[in-house]
Amino acid sequence: MRKILAFENVTLDGYMAGPNGELDWAVRDDEVTEYSKEGQDSTDMFLFGRVTYDMMASFWPTPMGKSANPVFAEALNNAHKMVFSTTLKKADWQNTEVAQEISKEKILKLKQLPGKNMMIFGSGTLVEQLTKLGLIDESHLSSNQNV
């Protein structure tokens, strides 16, 4: 059965973003980069909340995103993606499906499908809701001690 893995940048005091949603405190180091490569090899689907989806979809398909990290950009752009949103009606990023609600039954069906694991980046509300439903299999937290 496929697993759902949550990969989160979290401050030492438990925040995923600054007061205005900024992520400039999250510094990529060699350990985080190495883990993301390992996770990428075991993942073929990404789950997003709408805010994180909007941020990722506005960067990774662009020339700047593709040049920033070509391997990750290609993997993310080509992978199947699901965005959970009550407001988004359609997604323009290739291979993206929109789900209007989080249903335990739907997630369990996704976990039964053949394939590799599913990964969540950010998407704090989605992680919270899936955790309450007992559907997160592994959490990997990266924290910057300089914050």
Q: What is the pLDDT of residue 147?
A: 44
* Both structure tokens of 133: 């439903």
Distance, CA of 4 to CA of 12 (rounded, Å):
23
Mean pLDDT of 82-110: 94
* Mean pLDDT computed over 113-130: 89
Question: What's the rounded Cα separation, in Å, for the pair 133 and 68?
Answer: 35
Pairing of strands 96-99, 138-142: unpaired
Nearest to 135 by CA among 101, 107, 100, 106: 107
Q: How far is CA 3 from CA 25, 116, 126, 136, 137, in A?
A: 29, 8, 15, 8, 6
The rounded distance, in Å, linking the Cα atoms of 1 and 34 is 25
What local confidence, expressed as pLDDT, does residue 41 receive?
72
Query: What pLDDT, on the 0 to 100 scale, is given for residue 145?
Result: 47
Q: At what angle do helices 30-41 and 70-78 cross, to 10 degrees?
A: 30
Give residue 121's pLDDT: 82
Considering the chain, what is the average pLDDT of its residues? 82
| Per-residue pLDDT at 32 exceeds 80 | no
Residue 90 has what pLDDT?
Answer: 92
Q: What confidence category does residue 84 fall into, taking pLDDT thresholds of 50, 70 and 90?
A: very high
Cβ atoms within 10 Å of 137's Cβ, excluding its own: 15
pLDDT at 42: 81
- pLDDT, residue 40, reads 63
Residue 68 has pLDDT above 50, yes or no: yes
Using pLDDT thresholds of 50, 70 and 90, give the confidence band for residue 22: low
What pLDDT was estimated at residue 146?
44
